[in-house]
């Protein structure tokens, strides 16, 4: 089974099993990683925002326009920001590393 790593807000790296076909958001929830995902993957929030590490960003499918629009609303937006619910685990993404942003808009509001 593929694995992926979350870098939590305090810098802790957490390597977890990443079943094929699950989104990064679902994988986070399965392992108790603190990503909110308020709309459960329907592209109606930006609380599943993650920052993709290293050269993984270029290996992901391009974001849709809807995802980009939502990302524009994300707190702490960075060059390699994506929505966790839109990254689906494949064999190619075995070893993926994403970092949790410093906060989300909802969490601050």
Cβ at position 31, least distance to ligand FES in Å: 16
Query: Residue 92, Cβ neighbours under 10 Å: how many?
Result: 10
Give the interface with ligand FES as residue ranges (CB under 6 A).
25, 37-41, 43-45, 47-48, 70, 83, 85
Which run of H or E residues covers position 16? strand 13-17
Is 34 in contact with 92 (CB distance < 8 Å)? Answer: no
């Amino acid at each position: 089974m593929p694995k992926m790593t979350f870098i939590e807000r305090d810098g802790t790296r957490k390597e977890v099993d990443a079943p094929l076909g699950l989104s990064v958001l679902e994988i986070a929830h399965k392992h108790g990683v603190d990503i909110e995902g308020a709309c459960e993957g329907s592209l109606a929030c930006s609380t599943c925002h993650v920052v993709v590490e290293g050269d993984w960003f270029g290996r992901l499918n391009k974001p849709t326009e809807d995802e980009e629009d939502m990302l524009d609303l994300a707190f702490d937006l960075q060059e390699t920001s994506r929505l966790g619910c839109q990254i689906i685990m494949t064999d190619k993404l075995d070893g993926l590393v994403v970092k949790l942003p410093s906060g989300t808009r909802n969490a601050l509001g």
